[in-house]
Amino acid sequence: QVTAKTAFLFILPQYNVSVPTADGELVQYHYGLKDLVTILFYIFIAIILHAVVQEYALDKINRRLHLSKVKHSKFNESGQLVAFHLTSVIWCLYVVVTEGYISNPRSLWENYPHVYLPYQVKFFYLCQLAYWLHALPELYFQKVRKEEIPRQLRCIALYLLHIAGAYLLNLTRLGLILLLLQYLAEFFFHMARLVYFTDENNEKLFNVWAVVFVVTRLFTLTLYILVIGFGLPRVESQALDPERGNFFSFLFNNILFRMSVLLLVCLFQASVMWRFIHFQLRRWREYWHEQSSRKRAAAAAGTKQQTKLLKRDSGYHENGVVKAENGTSPRTKKLKSP
């Protein structure tokens, strides 16, 4: 029994409480320091799953494709993230649908702070934190190039900041919807990269990703405006109460603070869209440059072919003498005088 209690500490979410409801009692969870032990256990699980995907899927595909070192590294990165994003999108969609966060948008801010979480919501957040924390030692295990490490560290830090912030500030419902939108766009991007590495002429999925990216950005900005601009200011409890998990809803009662936060959100989304537009313009320039190069190469090949045909029609040279196709000289022979 002692070992069982210790095992449960690693495997199962902690801090369960019975919350009275109209239908009886409902078991829910809140966070605490013991969550770090559970996250540590699932970090090792994530490392094992990462190795399984690499060994039994990505390495076998890499042997067939014979990619360069740079493409090999990017292929492994996109392959791992495709598996993770697909799993997370399905899991997150199941959670938000079963909990009613999509059918009832008011639930994103009603009864804030959302201190008590359903089992599946808390377990989802713990697994997400474990995955992005496991990505740090994977930089060493995967022997990522030094030029790529700052970009990947920045990506990991942003995800950890978003997930941990939503979890600790009791904004888990809003965080779930935002993660679903982000992971959906990222899934299409990395899937498009995998298809591109297998066939460099196939870029159709990049166009699909572009559409999905723009749509998810619009939904993300709309959610921020809806929750921060209209939802949280209407929360009944507007007093600062860290014990109840109410950290900053009182700040949103101040219109100046509310508008400042919305302005920062809009500027951040605008910077993301600017990088996206810049990326698309660069990709289109490379595409049209490649097409024009192919046309010039085809035109040059056609000119060479025509030159060869003309030479064959007019004869060919042999030992400095032009000869016809039958091997006789096209010049008329002079008759010797007797």
- Eight-state DSSP code of residue 248: S
Q: Strand, helix or coil at 117?
A: strand
Contact yes or no for 112/230 (Cβ under 8 A): no
How do residues 320-336 score in pLDDT, each as one tens digit?
454 554 445 545 544 44
- Eight-state DSSP code of residue 323: E
Contact yes or no for 108/174 (Cβ under 8 A): yes
Q: Spell out the long-range contacts of 211-219 with Cβ–Cβ below 8 A and sequence spacing 24 or more.
A: 212/184, 212/185, 212/188, 213/185, 213/188, 213/189, 213/276, 214/273, 214/276, 216/181, 216/182, 216/184, 216/185, 217/269, 217/272, 217/273, 217/276, 219/181
In the predicted model, what is the mean pLDDT of residues 291-314?
70
Contact yes or no for 160/129 (Cβ under 8 A): yes
In the predicted model, what is the mean pLDDT of residues 42-47?
95
Task: State the chain's mean pLDDT as an integer.
Answer: 83
How do residues 210-257 score in pLDDT, each as one tens digit?
999 999 999 999 998 888 878 877 776 656 566 666 666 656 666 777
Query: In the prediction, which pLDDT does 316 show?
Result: 47
- Is the pLDDT reported for residue 36 higher than 90? yes
Q: In this structure, which amino acid lies at residue 110?
A: E
Place of tokens 């070192």: 69
- Is the pLDDT reported for residue 301 higher than 50? yes
Query: In the prediction, which pLDDT does 9 show?
Result: 81
Query: In the prediction, which pLDDT does 131 show?
Result: 96
Give the residues across from 17 on adjacent strands. 28
Whether the model clears a pTM of 0.75, i.e. scores above it, the answer is: yes
Cα 120 from chain centre: 23
Q: Strand, helix or coil at 228?
A: helix
Q: Where are the domains of the chain?
A: 1-220
Query: In the prediction, which pLDDT does 254 show?
Result: 66
Q: Strand, helix or coil at 163?
A: helix
